């Protein structure tokens, strides 16, 4: 079986990427900043430009996008969040037009459909890190598990709390030890604070890899429009007679 290739947009240092790799995808990343620790092939540039390039997209079977979340995060409510870009709507519009199966990931509060809400606790990780996933295909579970363990309090020594068996909040430039909590051993503390545990995208990726793009109606519709993009509706109707 030939391998399926996934385009990982807004890729950061590759938390999402690694999960898709574990699920069986070959992964290619795009980020606006250099990502020297990204574990796969990575291109530097604006994700929306790559997403708008139909020729480039022909090399892929699926797309994942993690647009910047600062605009939607509840952590900075006293800050003026309007200074941060709102890339969710343009990203979704391009994904829908791509005809490929896609996944958007972001924080609670982001303007998206929560087809799956994943938490580290469901994967045996010591982090309560909720992330929403909107998918162009049906996804199921896993059930959310109640938070029974205490997370580190503000100002508390996080490393000690972790060493004593506690759960972590992964924000700010946390030390790279927090990678163990996330299932990541190749990032520095800053990169970790932006990443998601690969277990989340491994879970989504195992469902995504079963989506047969040729039976996906959206794919067929986009392929049809592409084929006829230089013709008017009247001309298309004429040809179908």
- Where are the strands (E) in the chain, listed by range? 4-9, 25-31, 41-44, 62-65, 102-106, 116-118, 131-135
What contacts 51, CB < 8 A, 6 or more positions away?
9, 57, 63, 65, 91, 94, 95, 98
**How many chain residues are in contact with ligand SAM, going by CB under 6 A?**
19
* Smallest separation (angstroms) from ligand SAM to the CB of 108: 14
- Interface with ligand SAM, residue 120, by CB under 6 A: no
Please classify residue 30 by burial: count the beta carbons closer than 10 Å to its beta carbon, then call 0-12 exposed, 13-18 middle and 19+ buried: buried
- Helices 198-208, 15-23: axis angle to 10 degrees equals 40
* Smallest separation (angstroms) from ligand SAM to the CB of 87: 6
* Smallest separation (angstroms) from ligand SAM to the CB of 17: 7
* Smallest separation (angstroms) from ligand SAM to the CB of 150: 25
∠ at Cα 208 (67, 194), nearest 5°? 30
- Beta bridge partners, 62, equal 6
Using the minimum distance from each CB to ligand SAM, give the nearer residue, 40 or 219.
Answer: 40
Using the minimum distance from each CB to ligand SAM, give the nearer residue, 32 or 216.
Answer: 32
* Interface of this chain with ligand SAM, residues 9 to 38, rule: CB under 6 A: 10-16, 30-33
* Interaction mask 41-60, ligand SAM, x per CB under 6 A: -----xx-------------
List residues binding ligand SAM (CB under 6 A).
Answer: 10-16, 30-33, 46-47, 66, 68-69, 194-196
């Amino acid at each position: 079986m030939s391998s399926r290739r996934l385009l990982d947009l807004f890729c950061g240092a590759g938390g999402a990427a690694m999960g898709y790799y574990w699920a069986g995808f070959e992964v290619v990343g795009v980020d606006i900043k250099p990502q020297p620790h990204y574990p796969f092939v990575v291109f530097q540039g604006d994700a929306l430009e790559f997403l708008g390039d139909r020729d480039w997209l022909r090399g892929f079977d699926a797309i994942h996008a993690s647009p910047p979340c600062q605009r939607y995060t509840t952590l900075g409510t006293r800050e003026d969040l309007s200074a941060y870009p709102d890339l969710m709507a343009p990203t979704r519009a391009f994904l829908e037009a791509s005809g490929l199966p896609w996944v958007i990931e972001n924080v609670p509060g982001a303007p998206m459909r929560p087809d799956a809400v994943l938490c580290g606790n469901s994967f045996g990780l010591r982090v309560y890190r909720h992330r929403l996933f909107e998918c162009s295909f049906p996804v199921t579970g896993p059930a959310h598990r109640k938070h029974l363990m205490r997370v580190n309090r503000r100002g508390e020594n996080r490393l000690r709390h972790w060493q004593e068996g506690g759960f972590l909040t992964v924000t700010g430039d946390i030390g790279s030890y927090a990678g163990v909590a996330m299932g990541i051993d190749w990032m520095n503390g800053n990169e970790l604070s932006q990443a998601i545990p690969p277990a989340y995208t491994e879970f989504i990726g195992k469902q995504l890899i079963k989506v047969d793009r040729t039976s996906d109606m959206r794919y067929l519709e986009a392929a049809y429009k592409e084929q006829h993009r230089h013709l008017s509706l009247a001309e298309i109707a004429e040809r179908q007679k």
